[in-house]
Amino acid sequence: MKKTCLFSFALAAVTAVSLPPALHAQATAAATRGGMAQVGVAYTTSNQDEFKQRLQGVTIYGTFDLNNNFGLEGDVHMMSILKSYYSYTESSYDVGLRYVRHYRSFSPYAKGLIGFGHSQTPSPNEIYGGNTPGTYMLFALGGGLDYGLTNKINIRIVDFEYQRWPNFPPHGLTPAPVSFGIAYRLR
């Protein structure tokens, strides 16, 4: 009887120590969603400090979700490709972290980015300060909403960034691009 009780206790102890971590490892792998990437293109409109009219252009973006909520995003904003004023061009290239939540097919997100922006005009005397052409460091905060149309197609309902170019003379530049687009999900 003692041997049976001792054997049962040893078997229960070994099972209790080895089985739950193995089961936990299986559940964790099934519950994560890491490695999802998407590449997209969007129509972009942006205010800018130099003129009262809005620039119109194109944004190419990509995201890579590291897990279910945190990921990376990179944006290339060519904000004056479709419509510009006085041949003034403005573009920005930024990358950073994003936080996303998933509610059925909707995925709202917030992001913080850093990068650089470039502005240019054929006649620097037409804008305040005569500070183009030039490339300047920028940082941006933003957010948006994606909608999963199918397993492979995401609609970017809206994306907003508030960019700050602090070194743009004389007092910085603050474009705020707003984008609407479509993306292809790679996984």
Position with higher pLDDT, 27 vs 81: 81
Q: Which amino acid is at 156?
A: R
The residue whose two tokens read 């004056």 is 80
pLDDT for the residue 5? 47
List, for residues 13-53, the tens digit of each pLDDT value. 555 545 554 444 544 455 555 688 999 999 999 987 666 77
3 state SS of 33: coil
Closest C-alpha to 33, from 60, 81, 4, 69: 69
CB 93 within 8 A of CB 78: no
Q: Which amino acid is at 80?
A: S
CA distance 57 to 68: 31
For the cut 80, the answer to whether the pLDDT of residue 59 exceeds it is yes
pLDDT for the residue 125? 61
pLDDT for the residue 57? 93
Q: Which of 23-32, 55-64, 149-158 has the lowest mean pLDDT?
A: 23-32
Determine the average pLDDT of the residues in 131-160. 92
Burial class (CB in 10 A: 0-12, 13-18, 19+), 148: middle
CB 98 within 8 A of CB 63: yes
CA distance 173 to 131: 11
- Helix or strand (DSSP H, E) at 144: strand 134-148
